[in-house]
Amino acid sequence: MDFFKRKEPAAPAPAVQTSNAGHTQFASSTPVKFNSVEFRDGVQSLLATRVTTEDMIPLLKRMDAVGYDSMEMWGGATFDVCIRYLNDDPWNRVRTFKHFMKNTPLKMVLRGQNLVGYHAYPDDIVEKFVECAANAGIDVFLIFDALQDLRNCETAFRAVKKMGKKIEGSVQYNLSPFHTTEKFVENALEQQKMGAELIHVEDMAGLMTPPAAYELISALKAALDIPVHLHCHCTGGMAEMCYWEAIRAGVDGLDVCVSSLGMGPGHPPIESFIAGLRGTPRDPKIDLAQFNELNEGFQYLRTRRKEYESRLIGVDVGCLQHQIPGGMLTNMENQLRSMNALDRLPEILREVTRVRADMGYPPLATPSSQMCGAQATSNVMMGERYKTVSKEMRDYCRGMYGCPPGDISPELMKKALGDEKPITCRPADLLEPGWEKAKTEIGDLAHSDEDVLTYALFPNIAVNYLKNRYETKE
């Protein structure tokens, strides 16, 4: 089906009634900006990231014409999935988007010192990765650390500054005894001092309530001199209400998807806010009619990848307890389905809550979400808590991922480390430089610096990926 070749013009969007906006009080009168997340977090949350660059190309020119402030289309799980499952060059994906996106800045999600992987990499690898990503076409680097330990963001911030690109700092929203509005503001202020030009509030698990959104955005706008954007998932059923309260509080931008790739564990639809803001001081003045064919295209994409689609169609208020992000929930469903153990998911989600408390209440962003989810799954499937502890969880307890918000439980520390003491320094300070070592190890199989980086990041799968890539071309 070629869904963009139409002989007849698309039907116009229905007229949207405007009402007297005087009843709504806005803390800002500037138009709301929108950041597109369909091609990164959208497909990660709803389709386990199993979408190729080729799948995306037919949509790009129309997406570029919408009027987005930026497009998040790289980073997160996209890099790993490209080389592990799709045989799809992640670096060429950036160049392909840059070719088609003439008006919209491209954004990537960078996991601080972990880049697009699941552990800390040496500083020289971080610097080289940022350089290559910027040269490929990334304009905005959304940088975060799963534990909000900003020591793990310092090298990435410096590298992005050196390349003259935009730094978007990130606050990982979650619920715990150690996460308060005051702490979030304090962390954001520190990132502003470090050079962030924008602060992104990430509600990755759909936990935020409307009053909390108003309170946090109001506090950040009062404290910061830079714009504030909000990112919510619809898992808990409150994201759209949170966005409206954030708009009232003066938020500068929102992360959205088109409606046919939204909701569930994904994101609020842009069309709802274009319509809802019509005639108000914050009206973005974006044409609704252009989404007719876009929605047809994204619906077709979902149909093509339906075997990976999340089973969460409506709302999961259980996220307020387990706090698992949308993308991880989809992947967990797929993994349990492959093990014929999908019926154990509710039990595992309950165990996630206990394991997260034992870990000192980290935000469940990558990689702490994967560690917590894997440990909870192991605990349930083996019928005994911490019968086995993964290498990643041991390193977490050692402090190799940074400092958690709270204390790690004595039971978990004992199982993971025995009598060993955790480190207190910046984790990357213990790592030897990695660039020259990676170049030597990969040798002639690497045809570019990008190939060397791919190997440095994922040595266990990069060799076969690179062999397949170049043998196919030959």
| pLDDT for res 329 | 72
CA distances from 97 to 60, 77, 101, 138 (A): 7, 17, 6, 10
CB neighbour list of residue 121: distance below 8 Å, 6 or more residues apart: 113, 114, 115, 129, 428, 431, 434, 456, 457
Over residues 158-167, the pLDDT tens digits come to: 999 999 999 9
Of 337, 335, 400, which is closest to residue 374 (Cα–Cα)? 335
Is the peptide bond preceding residue 367 cis, with omega within 30 degrees of 0?
yes
pLDDT digit string (tens) for 349-393? Answer: 899 999 999 999 999 888 998 899 999 999 999 999 999 999 999
199 pLDDT higher than 60? yes
- Asked if residue 336 belongs to a domain, the reply is no
In a domain, 385, yes or no: no
Q: Which of the 8 DSSP states describes residue 87? A: -
pLDDT at 327: 61
Average per-residue pLDDT for the chain:
92
pLDDT attached to residue 141: 98
Q: Is residue 99 part of a domain?
A: yes
* Tokens standing for residue 391: 């290498």
Query: Taking the CA atoms of the chain, what radius of gyration do you get in angstroms?
Result: 22
Domain assignment present for 76: yes
pLDDT above 90 (res 3):
no
User: Do the Cβ atoms of 45 and 326 come closer than 8 Å?
Assistant: yes
Same domain, 205 and 57: yes
DSSP 14: P
Among 260, 293, 308, the domain boundary falls at: 308
CB of 149 within 8 A of CB of 402? yes
Percent of the chain scoring above 90 in pLDDT: 81
What span, in angstroms and rounded, lies between the C-alpha atoms of 39 and 30?
27
Domain contains 467: yes
Q: Are residues 97 and 238 in the same domain?
A: yes
Asked if the structure places residue 295 within a domain, the reply is yes
* pLDDT at residue 474 greater than cutoff 80: no
CATH number at residue 214: 3.20.20.70
287, 308, 329: which is the final residue of a domain? 308
Cβ burial, residue 239 (10 Å; 0-12/13-18/19+): buried
Domain that holds residue 462: 434-473
Smallest CA-to-CA distance from 422 within 406, 409, 403, 448 is with 403
Overall number of domains in the chain: 2
49-53, 84-88, 177-181, 314-318, range with the lowest pLDDT: 314-318
**Last residue within a domain, chosen from 281, 308, 335:** 308
The answer to whether 282 and 32 are in contact (CB under 8 A) is: yes
Using a 10 angstrom Cβ sphere, with 0-12 exposed, 13-18 middle and 19 or more buried, the burial of residue 166 is middle
Residue 409 lies in a domain: no
- pLDDT above 50: residue 6: no
Q: Is residue 356 part of a domain?
A: no
The Cβ of residue 279 has, within 10 Å, a number of other Cβ atoms equal to 12
Give the pLDDT band of residue 13 (cuts 50, 70, 90).
very low
- Residue 270 is encoded by which pair of tokens? 């842009």
Res 326: pLDDT? 61
- So what's the pLDDT on residue 472? 59
Tell me: the pLDDT tens digits for 98-140? 999 999 999 999 999 999 999 999 999 999 999 999 999 999 9
Both structure tokens of 450: 């990008």
In this predicted model, which residue has the larger pLDDT, 8 or 236?
236
Give the residue among 69, 138, 67, 44 at the shortest CA–CA distance from 97: 138
Cβ-contact 100, 64 below 8 angstroms: yes
Q: What's the pLDDT tens digit per position in 19-28? A: 444 457 999 9
Helices then strands, each counted (H, E), the chain: 20, 8
pLDDT per position as a tens digit, 129-141: 999 999 999 999 9
